[in-house]
């Protein structure tokens, strides 16, 4: 599970920084659009990665490809309109942004004929950006606190108490699921499907427009 290959860590470093930064920035941006000034007051509406990094989550994401950033704090009571709808939108924003970054990187790789899984620094960096962003999106949609999926679930069920109840055990449940490999059983196939789908779509776009 652990990967102490220094060269591999350095190649994946840009991917981790990009994935975590854009993920948290998206949370803050959507919350701000919905009327909650909390992320803006806390300086989270920025693409400066140092503002968003959690040291432990950053290291774990590099080593085991499971990790987290410093959570963006939001106050649903400040949202305009339905606060439960706002919780869903803010919760989905991070994963949505990661998938957008992954798709954009896939399209760039396809346009530049950078082979998927190819050897060399540039293919490895692009592969890292695509995979890490897909992994982070899928991982965060798991409905267990403190992951974003728990906020989405609470918003859909219109019941915040579910999140508060699960928060007591969220980290323990996640640790057990990660280190027993159960999360990998779900994360691997889903992420692989999205990865292949993005390449199929991007290849279709390139061929359709003759690029």
The per-residue pLDDT for 181 is 84
Q: How confident is the model at residue 3 (pLDDT cuts 50, 70, 90)?
A: low
Compare 28 and 55 and report the one with higher pLDDT. Answer: 28
134: three-class secondary structure by DSSP: helix
Give the pLDDT mean for 49-55: 91
Residue 127 a catalytic site member: no
pLDDT of residue 200: 95
- How far is it, in rounded angstroms, from Cα 30 to Cα 26? 6
Residue 54 has pLDDT above 70, yes or no: yes
**Which member of 19, 21, 23, 24 is catalytic?**
24
Task: With a cut of 60, say whether residue 139 has pLDDT above it.
Answer: yes
Please enumerate in sequence order all residues whose Cβ is within 8 A of that of 51, keeping only pairs 6 or more positions apart, or say none: 43, 44, 70
CB atoms under 10 Å from CB of 159, counted, come to 13
- On whether residue 1 sits in a domain, the answer given is no
Token readout for 86 is: 């706002």
pLDDT value at residue 20: 93
Q: Is the pLDDT of residue 106 over 70?
A: yes
Looking at the domain assignment, is residue 147 inside a domain? yes
> Domain for residue 196, yes or no?
yes
Confidence check: pLDDT of 5 > 70: no
- Alpha-carbon distances, residue 59 vs 17, 71, 112, 208 (angstroms): 11, 16, 31, 41
Provide the greatest CA pair distance for the chain: 54
Choose between 2 and 54: higher pLDDT: 54
* Overall domain count for the chain: 1
Q: Is the pLDDT of residue 117 over 80?
A: no
**Average confidence score pLDDT of the chain:** 88
**Confidence check: pLDDT of 109 > 60:** yes
Average pLDDT of the residues in 98-102: 98
d(CA 208, CA 164) in angstroms, rounded, equals: 49
- Residue 55 is assigned to a structural domain of this protein: yes
pLDDT bracket for residue 146 (50, 70, 90): confident
> What pLDDT was estimated at residue 122?
83
100: nearest Cα among 80, 129, 66, 127: 129
Token look-up 């390139």 returns 206
Which residues constitute the domain of residue 169? 6-209
DSSP string across 120-133: SHHHHHHHHHHHHH
The mean-pLDDT minimum among 75-84, 151-160, 163-172 falls in: 163-172
Angstrom distance (rounded) from CA 143 to CA 152: 8
- Does 185 score more than 60 pLDDT? yes
Euclidean distance between CA atoms 104 and 89, whole angstroms: 21
Tell me whether residue 122 is in a domain: yes
């Amino acid at each position: 599970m652990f990967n102490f290959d220094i060269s591999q860590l350095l190649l994946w470093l840009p991917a981790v920084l990009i994935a975590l930064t854009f993920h948290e920035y998206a949370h803050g941006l959507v919350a701000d659009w919905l009327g909650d000034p909390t992320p803006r007051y806390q300086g989270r509406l920025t693409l400066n990665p140092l503002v968003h990094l959690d040291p432990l989550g950053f290291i774990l994401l590099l080593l085991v490809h499971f990790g987290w950033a410093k959570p963006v704090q939001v106050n649903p009571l400040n949202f305009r309109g339905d606060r439960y709808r706002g919780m869903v939108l803010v919760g989905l924003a991070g994963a949505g942004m990661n998938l957008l970054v992954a798709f954009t990187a896939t399209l760039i790789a396809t346009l530049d004929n950078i082979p998927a899984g190819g050897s060399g620094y540039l293919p490895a960096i692009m592969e890292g950006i695509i995979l890490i962003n897909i992994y982070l999106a899928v991982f965060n949609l798991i409905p267990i606190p403190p992951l974003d999926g728990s906020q989405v679930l609470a918003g859909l069920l219109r019941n915040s108490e579910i999140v508060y109840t699960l928060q007591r055990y969220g980290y323990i449940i996640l640790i057990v699921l990660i280190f027993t490999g159960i999360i990998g059983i779900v994360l691997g196939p889903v992420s692989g499907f999205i990865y292949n789908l993005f390449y199929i779509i991007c290849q279709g776009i390139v061929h359709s427009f003759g690029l």
